[in-house]
Amino acid sequence: MGYEWIERDIAAELMRVRREYPVVTITGPRQSGKTSLARKYCPGFTYTNLELPHVRSLAEQDPQGFFEMHPAPLIIDEIQRVPSLLSYIQALADETEERGQYILTGSHQTELAEALSQSLVGRTALLRLLPLSLKELGAASIKVSRDEILWRGFMPRIYHDDIRPTTFYSEYFQNYVERDVRQLIAVRDLSLFEKFLRVLAGRVGQLVNVSSLSGDVGISRATVNEWLSVLEASFVIFRLPPWFGNASKRAIKSPKLYFTEPGLAAWLLQIELSHQIPRDPLMGSLFENMVVVEALKSRLNAGRMSNLYFYRDSRGREVDLIIRQRRKLRPIEIKAGMTYTSSMLKSLRQFNRLVPDALHGAVIYGGEMETVTENATLLNYRNTHTLFSSSS
């Protein structure tokens, strides 16, 4: 049983690029719904999964026989498991003028990007599917509180199968994070890697500090960098780049760290029930993580570049999130509190003095009141997408 009852916003972009390219590649975290997306919106396609040993063996040993058995139009799951197939897909795609004949999915963006760059440049559209968004949950009449959504997260199976988050993320960590890590690098001590992940969860929304991570976990700086790259390649974390335009020479140039799935971060912090969220010292950081990744989902679901940044300088001036729209910058403050206060506008005013031509700013917060003032737009977090789905 799939997740067909929840419509995915990226579906319109999938249908659009199917008409433009012979191949469409969908990447994203494991269990974010890539297979369900492809099978629902590409009915009548042959389907196969390279995670299955016998399927993978056939693809590796007899690729021509593989394509005889699985004719186009074809969906191939986890294509990075047999990257040599991409050369055959290139040849098959070049033999026909038909569009949208091959839908590929993958969960390791580094491996997949390298393979695609060698075989399918100009022949494939690239889509990134993240877990469910607040907009998608709302459209499916699923409305949960601020604290519950930070605890539950956004993985489709949690909602489809009504799985307890603690159970889901424990299984997710064991069966996916550890397995992917073992495929990508040789980690001798998985307990040390788990410690590393828990330390990262404790630093969500903070600047990436390799030296500090090295000391806290007890691993070398080189290992920290390697593990961060692996987690990013597996869509477990992402790094939000800083904006450091010519307007300020004091700008910090280190990225900030976030989890692609806020629910996994909450589980790593050992939050077992939703009512623990408001008492947790990292609640504000988890809320910020959720809003930032919601912004990213809005951009990716529309087939657009991220265009997301943050700002911080050595004087302590900071803007939580910045989006580049219409070649200008829109500053956004993120506050977990449910009560609006004028102090929430302080950082926006500072940024507007730094960048006088910046677009109208916004405050995304936990409260229900929404309004537009001379200084900023005030938005409830469930409506984050309204700021980011507009044209660039």
Distance CA 242, CA 375 (A): 23
Give residue limits of the domains in the chain.
11-128, 134-286, 308-388
Take residue 258 and report the two structure tokens written for it: 């976030």
pTM for this model (two decimals):
0.94
User: Residue 390 has what pLDDT?
Assistant: 57
User: Residue 117 has what pLDDT?
Assistant: 76
In the chain, which ranges are E strands? 23-27, 46-49, 74-77, 102-106, 124-128, 237-240, 256-259, 308-312, 318-325, 328-335, 361-365, 371-372, 376-380
Distance CA 188, CA 198 (A): 18
The domain made up of 308-388 has a fold known as Trna Endonuclease; Chain: A, domain 1 (3.40.1350)
Residues facing 207 on adjacent strands: 256
Q: What is the maximum span of the chain, computed from C-alpha positions, in angstroms? A: 67
Give the right CATH number for 134-286 from 3.30.43.10, 3.40.190.80, 1.10.10.10, 2.40.10.10. 1.10.10.10
Cβ contacts of 194 within 8 Å, gap of 6 or more: 173
User: Residue 118 has what pLDDT?
Assistant: 78
User: Residue 389 has what pLDDT?
Assistant: 66
Sign of CA dihedral 279, 282, 286, 287: positive
Residues facing 103 on adjacent strands: 24, 75
User: Residue 247 has what pLDDT?
Assistant: 57
Second CATH level (architecture) for the domain 11-128: 3-Layer(aba) Sandwich (3.40)
**pLDDT values of the chain reduced to their tens digit, one per residue, 392 residues:** 344 578 999 999 999 999 999 999 999 999 999 999 999 999 999 999 999 999 999 999 999 999 999 999 999 999 989 999 999 999 999 998 899 999 999 987 676 777 777 788 889 999 999 999 999 999 999 989 999 999 999 999 999 999 999 999 999 998 877 777 777 777 777 888 999 999 999 999 999 999 999 999 999 999 999 999 989 988 999 999 999 876 566 788 899 999 999 999 999 999 999 999 999 999 999 999 999 999 999 999 999 999 999 999 988 889 999 999 888 999 999 999 999 999 999 999 999 999 999 999 999 999 999 999 888 999 999 999 999 865 55
Take residue 306 and report the two structure tokens written for it: 């991220």
